[in-house]
Each structure stands twice: as structure tokens, then as C-alpha cells.
């Protein structure tokens, strides 16, 4: 049984980790994953009463973090998300606190420089106490409530002990300053987190706010509707500049469609009646009407949003490591603070000095910067990939991609376009010209639906040749076709067909690349047509990018060695494995892994499902079909190899930023503790080491979203 719930107003990453851990230990729950970026709690288990499950989870939330609400997950419309309610009153109070605090800091600075302008102590001390109570009351209240519930090591408790301890050792101004700085930092940390979350979601949420439906019952009147209310079969209008709101088929009009928001493809494509369009693309030039083929929940814009949200809930190893680390980090630092307060004081008798140092340790012991920065970095990476038409199955996939040493590429449809085209026409002697040879072949092949025959007929038409199908055409299985043209017998086929009819003079060597179609008139050899599946225009550039990242590229194909080597030479592929049967690919990928290291396989995502599952990372090159999304770890919406180089580079950058955040946060905390022991770091430094570092890590994480 699966369930998705929302934990509203759960913004503390440390508390979220505790809640997730407690929920995971429930008897009826098998797995529980909370994503702070989306507030979604994904559960699997065997509960019977859903409402009882929600009540139990609510009790856990109430025991750990005040104000968290357990709600049913219901995806809001884009308009509703854009107009979400916000507690402006709470913001106003916080801003007032910040302004008052800035005045306090200005007063402190002035009295430090010019002591004579300070207020008398009899007036100043009560003002400090009033300021402390106003600033610290929410923190003290939550800390007291949590202590009664057995939740001790949270940031409210630590800040309460630290500031009350400062008051106890006659450091009242510093206690006020520290709680003020903490409240300011907490405010900006929350705003930075919310803004980052919103920016990432806006980048991947391409759902429309409204749809213009053509009311066929009222003379074609346009009715503006919410997208979730539009039914399959409805006719909708899409104006120039509008987003394609739902998946559908063009009925009227002609336009150019920018597919970059979905596929990352920068070149617009032509759309005419009958063209199927994906939602999320942009209508650039002409007005069109469309028939809706899929409702909003089944359209591409929702599939992309689902993929991103599901990917965010799949936590990487580094995230799980930091969560486990945070559970032991805070108690260890608190124990260390207790030791610092007591042991040196007993030796030196300087109780105030060492208690103050211990209070600095308490402030710095909150692990929020650590717990928050890692998932946000990975969520930014997932969002960036989605902007480039790449769907990931989760943070674990990013880690696996960052470690890839080799990429195994299926040739047909991945390195090549997957479409047969006439590569060249070769004639012998002066019997016929290349256009005459192509015309003769097309006349015979016009009655066949084979891909090779279709490519010959298409090439003839593209060259302006009128194709008239021959009469009396006979197809010989595995050999070719025989027909009559202008009273002459024409043979189109392979070497076995030439041998059958005793044709002389055809080449003894096979073509260097592609499939050769030999043409003869009677028993006179006239020439051959080379049919080839050509490399994509960007394949050579993309493979050069991969080679530049020290990634070994290996092409897998069932083609002959000569054809495979031709494509490899043309595109720069490092190695070739040719003449493979479909069942051979998995063992070949395993051999590549043994030779080079972690391996990514990229295929079509449908026929190559066993190989996709067997590789360290499976990538599906295609249009995002359901089967491809299910089979692969990575889905490339645009069939371009440049996306592979991009995602490998992006994954390395994402992992690098995540570790930067972790190392930076830990280093700052250790530095402040060390400076505190030496008497240089104050509690103000410690507050920066908590909230300030959190904000810097958040900003560092969001850089990934803007990466090209």
C-alpha cells in the first residue's frame, strides 16, 4: 500500500529527519521518505485505517515540531500555487523585530565608541530584559514544550540554554544580541529556503493556468477553463506565444512549435493538422486549434512534474550519511560543551570564561546547515536536468552518474537517427546515370513497404523523379525484387540475387558502410545504391565532449564490423562491439564495466530493458514514452547525445556542490569551536556559524539550477 501526505509548515530539516525516523519505526509503515523541498511524505506499508495513520503521524509531528499539519496530498493548480496564502502578519512582526534589533545594534555600536552617550544602567538593564523577553519568548516557549515531550537537542533548546547562560554570567547585552541575530538569521534562512524551493518548482512546473476551450455548441465561442476540467476530445485554441496546455493533435492551422521547455531542443518544429503536440511546448507563430488527447493528469507537463517530485524523494547516499551524522553530532557537541564548562573551570577557577565558551559550543551545535544544504543541492540538480529535457529517477542516480567511467551507446536510434536514407548512388560505365539508376530502382521498390524500399522511393521523389510503379514485380525472400521497366527485366537486391540470374561484373567487396542494393538490367550490372542509417548531426560533438570528460565511449550494434567502424570513425567513438545479438548486449556491458569501471548504457528504453536494468545507470533516448520512463534511470526527452554529456557534467557539479556545503558547514563549526577554546570567538560568531552558514549553503545549492 502506498500513500503520499503533506507535512505543512515543516521547514526545520533537523526536526524533519527526526519525524521521518519516528514514522519509519511505526509498525504499519515499511518505508517513509520526507522531502523538505516539496513537503511530501511518501509512505509504503500495511495500514488498514488511513485516518488513524494520519492521526498517529500528526501526534509524532506535534511531539517534535510545533505547528506542523498533516494533510492529504492534492496537487494544486498552477494558479492556486502562484496565489498561495502567506502569513503576512507573521512577516510583519518579524520585520518589526529586525528593525528594532538593528536600532539596538546601532545603539550598542555607538555606546562602544562613545560611552558617554549611553543610558544609565538603571534604565538600560530593564530595556535589555524587555528586549530579551520579546525576542526570546517564542524560542523559550517551544523549548519548554519540547523538553516536556522528551525532545531536548533541538535549536530552540540550545539557543535557550545559551542565552539564559549568558544572562547568568552577566552578559545580558550579548544574550539580547545573540537571540536577535538568531531570529534575523532564522527569518532569512526561511525566506532563502522558500525562494529556492519556489524557483526550482517554477522551473519544472509547466502546467498551464487556463485553457481556451472552443465551445462547438455555441458557434465556436471561446470558454476559458481551468486545465484540470478539460476533457479528452475537447477542442482548444492555442494562440501565438501561448503554452501548449494539454497533449493533443492539431486540427486547424499551421505554426512553429518551440519544444525546448520539454525536450531542450532549441530548433522549433513545424506543426500542421495531424501533428501530435506535447504540453509544455510553446506555440511560436500561428493560431491553431487542437483536439485534447489526454487530460491534465496524463499530459506531459504533469508527467515531468511527477518525475521531478519522485526523484526528489529518492535520497542519495550522502543525504542519508548526513542525516545519520546529525543524530550523533549534536549530542557529542553538547557533551563537549559540558566538559569545556566544567573541567577548565575546576583547574583555573575562571568559571565565567569557560561557561561562556561552552555556551558558544551550544549555539554552534545545531546541524541545520548540514541537513538542509544536501537535499537542496540535489533538488536543484534534478530541476536543472528537467529544464534541459532530462528526467532523473532520483538523487541516487545523480551519484551514480557522477561516478560513470564509460558510456555504452546503442548505435541505431542513439548515435544514428534510426532512419534509413540513400547514402550514395554508384554507377558502372556509361549504361545509365545515377538519376536513371535511382529511377529504375524506385519503380521496382514502389510496391514494397520495406524500410530500404521506402528510402529509395523517398530519395527519388526528393530529386524530382516521377516514380511509376512497375508491373509484374516479384519479391524473392532474402534476395530482392525482380520487375519489368520499359520492357526490360530489372533486378534489385543482394549478391545472392545477382548469382541467381548470372549477373556479371558486380563488386566483389562489400560497401565500406551501410547496406548495398545492387541493380542489374537483364544480366548486365548497372551499379549499386548504398542505404545507410546516418549519424545524428551532433553525435561527433557530443562524443568529443564525453571523451573530454575522460569517459570511455563504446558503441554496441548488430551491424557488420565495416559499417560499425565507419560510424565509429565518423563520430569519434572510442571502441566498437559489432555483430551483437540483442541478448549479447548485457554481457558486453558487464565486460565494459569490468574493464573501465561504472558504466552507463543508453538505448531506446523499450527493447533494451534488460541492459538498462543491468547497467550502473540506464538511459533511454527518446520522446519520453511511458515504457521508456519505466525502463530507465534517466530519460532523455530529446534524442541528442549532447544531453548525455550535459547530465554527466551536471551530476559531477551537483555532487561537488553538496560536498562543498558539507565541508564548509563542518569546517566553520570546527573553526568557531577552536577559536572559542582560544578565547577569540564569541557567541555572535556561533550564530553566524549556524544560520549564516545555512543561508550561504542554500545560495550555493541554487547555483546549480542556473547552470547551463
Could you list the active site residues?
410
As a whole number of angstroms, the distance between CA 364 and CA 400 comes to 33
**Helices within 34-154 (DSSP H only):** 50-64, 78-82, 88-113, 121-148
Residue 584 and residue 568: Cα distance in Å, rounded? Answer: 20
* Whole-angstrom distance, CA of residue 255 vs CA of residue 257: 6
Q: What is the CA radius of gyration of the chain?
A: 34
Kindly state the cell numbers that stand for 10: 515543516
Q: Tell me phi and psi for residue 601, to 5 degrees.
A: -110, 135
**DSSP-derived 3-state class of residue 277:** strand
> In this structure, are residues 365 and 330 in contact, taking their beta carbons and an 8 Å threshold?
yes
Q: How many CA atoms lie within 13 A of 284 on its CB side?
A: 14
Q: Residue 407 pairs with which residues in a beta bridge?
A: 553, 600
Q: How many residues does the chain have?
A: 708
Please give the grid coordinates belonging to residue 614. 543491468
Q: Any residues with CB less than 8 A from the CB of 215 and at least 6 apart, and which?
A: 221, 222, 223
Longest Cα–Cα distance in the chain? 121
Place of cell 506535447: 278
Contact 688, 368 (CB under 8 A): no
Q: Residue 179 contacts by C-beta under 8 Å, 6 or more apart in sequence?
A: 132, 135, 136, 139, 159, 163
Instruction: For residue 618, give the nearest of 310, 629, 541 by alpha carbon.
Output: 629
SS (H, E, C) 634-648: EEECCCCCHHHHHHH
CA dist., res. 97 & res. 81, Å (int) = 29
66-70 long-range contacts, CB within 8 A, separation 24+:
66/142, 66/145, 67/9, 68/7, 68/8, 68/9, 68/10, 68/19, 69/7, 69/8, 69/9, 70/5, 70/6, 70/7, 70/8
Amino acid at each position: 500500500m502506498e500513500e503520499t501526505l503533506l507535512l505543512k509548515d515543516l521547514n526545520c530539516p533537523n526536526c524533519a529527519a527526526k519525524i521521518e525516523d519516528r514514522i519509519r519505526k511505526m509498525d504499519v509503515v515499511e518505508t517513509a521518505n520526507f522531502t523538505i523541498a516539496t513537503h511530501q511524505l511518501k509512505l509504503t506499508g500495511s495500514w488498514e485505517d488511513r485516518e488513524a495513520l494520519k492521526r498517529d503521524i500528526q501526534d509524532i509531528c506535534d511531539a517534535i515540531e510545533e505547528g506542523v499539519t498533516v494533510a492529504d496530498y492534492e496537487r494544486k493548480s498552477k494558479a492556486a500555487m502562484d496565489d498561495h496564502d502567506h502569513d503576512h502578519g507573521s512577516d510583519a512582526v518579524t520585520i518589526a523585530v529586525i528593525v528594532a534589533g538593528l536600532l539596538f545594534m546601532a545603539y550598542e555600536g555607538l555606546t562602544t565608541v562613545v560611552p558617554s552617550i549611553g543610558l544609565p544602567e538603571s534604565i538600560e538593564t530593564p530595556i535589555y530584559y524587555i528586549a530579551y523577553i520579546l525576542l526570546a519568548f517564542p524560542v523559550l516557549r517551544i523549548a519548554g514544550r519540547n523538553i516536556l515531550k522528551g525532545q531536548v537537542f533541538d535549536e530552540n533548546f540550545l539557543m535557550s540554554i545559551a542565552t539564559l547562560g549568558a544572562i547568568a554570567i552577566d552578559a545580558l547585552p550579548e544574550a539580547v544580541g545573540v537571540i536577535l541575530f538568531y531570529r534575523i538569521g532564522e527569518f532569512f534562512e526561511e525566506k532563502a529556503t522558500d525562494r529556492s524551493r519556489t524557483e526550482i518548482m517554477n522551473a519544472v512546473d509547466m502546467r498551464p493556468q487556463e485553457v481556451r476551450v472552443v465551445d462547438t455548441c455555441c458557434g465556436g465561442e471561446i470558454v476559458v477553463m481551468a486545465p484540470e476540467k478539460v476533457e479528452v476530445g475537447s477542442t482548444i485554441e492555442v494562440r501565438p506565444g501561448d503554452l501548449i496546455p494539454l497533449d493533443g493533435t492539431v486540427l486547424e492551422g499551421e505554426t512553429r512549435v518551440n519544444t525546448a521547455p520539454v525536450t531542450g531542443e532549441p530548433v522549433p518544429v513545424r506543426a500542421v493538422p495531424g501533428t501530435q503536440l506535447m504540453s509544455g511546448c510553446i506555440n511560436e507563430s500561428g493560431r491553431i486549434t487542437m483536439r485534447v488527447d489526454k487530460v491534465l493528469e496524463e499530459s506531459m507537463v504533469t508527467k515531468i512534474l511527477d518525475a521531478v517530485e519522485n526523484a526528489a524523494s529518492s535520497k542519495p547516499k550522502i543525504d542519508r550519511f548526513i542525516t545519520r551524522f546529525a543524530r550523533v553530532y549534536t549530542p557529542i557537541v553538547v557533551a563537549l560543551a559540558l566538559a569545556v564548562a566544567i573541567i577548565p573551570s575546576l583547574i583555573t577557577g575562571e568559571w565565567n570564561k569557560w561557561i561562556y565558551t561552552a555556551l558558544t559550543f551550544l549555539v554552534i551545535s545545531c546541524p541545520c546547515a548540514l541537513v538542509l544544504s544536501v537535499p537542496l543541492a540535489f533538488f536543484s540538480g534534478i530541476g536543472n536536468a528537467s529544464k534541459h529535457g532530462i528526467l532523473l529517477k532520483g538523487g541516487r542516480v545523480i551519484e551514480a552518474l557522477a561516478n560513470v567511467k564509460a558510456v555504452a551507446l546503442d548505435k541505431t536510434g542513439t548515435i544514428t537517427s534510426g532512419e534509413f536514407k540513400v547514402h550514395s548512388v554508384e554507377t558502372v560505365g556509361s549504361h545509365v546515370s545515377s538519376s536513371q539508376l535511382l529511377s529504375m530502382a524506385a519503380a521496382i521498390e514502389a510496391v514494397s513497404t520495406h524500410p530500404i524500399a521506402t528510402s529509395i522511393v523517398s530519395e527519388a521523389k526528393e530529386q524530382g523523379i516521377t516514380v511509376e510503379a512497375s508491373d509484374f514485380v516479384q519479391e524473392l525472400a532474402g534476395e530482392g525484387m525482380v520487375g519489368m521497366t520499359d520492357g526490360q527485366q530489372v533486378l534489385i537486391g543482394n549478391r545472392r540475387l545477382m548469382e541467381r540470374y548470372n549477373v556479371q561484373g558486380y563488386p566483389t567487396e562489400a560497401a565500406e558502410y551501410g547496406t548495398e542494393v545492387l541493380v542489374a538490367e537483364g544480366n548486365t550490372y548497372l551499379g549499386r545504391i548504398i542505404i545507410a542509417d546516418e549519424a545524428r548531426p551532433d553525435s561527433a560533438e557530443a562524443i568529443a565532449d564525453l571523451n573530454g570528460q575522460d569517459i570511455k565511449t563504446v558503441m554496441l550494434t548488430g551491424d557488420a564490423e565495416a559499417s560499425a567502424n565507419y560510424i565509429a570513425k565518423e563520430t569519434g567513438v572510442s571502441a566498437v562491439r559489432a555483430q551483437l545479438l540483442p541478448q549479447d548486449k548485457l554481457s558486453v556491458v558487464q565486460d565494459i564495466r569490468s574493464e573501465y569501471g561504472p558504466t552507463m548504457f543508453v538505448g531506446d528504453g523499450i527493447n533494451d530493458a534488460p541492459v538498462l536494468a543491468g547497467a550502473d545507470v540506464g538511459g533511454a533516448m527518446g520522446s519520453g514514452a511511458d515504457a521508456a520512463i519505466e525502463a530507465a534511470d534517466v530519460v532523455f526527452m530529446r534524442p541528442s547525445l549532447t544531453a548525455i554529456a550535459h547530465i554527466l557534467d551536471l551530476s559531477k557539479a551537483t555532487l561537488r556542490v553538496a560536498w562543498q556545503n558539507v565541508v564548509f558547514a563542518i569546517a566553520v563549526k570546527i573553526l568557531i569551536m577552536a577559536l572559542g577554546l582560544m578565547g577569540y570567538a564569541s557567541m555572535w560568531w556561533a550564530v553566524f556559524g549556524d544560520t549564516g552558514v545555512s543561508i550561504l549553503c542554500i545560495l550555493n545549492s541554487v547555483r546549480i539550477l542556473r547552470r547551463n
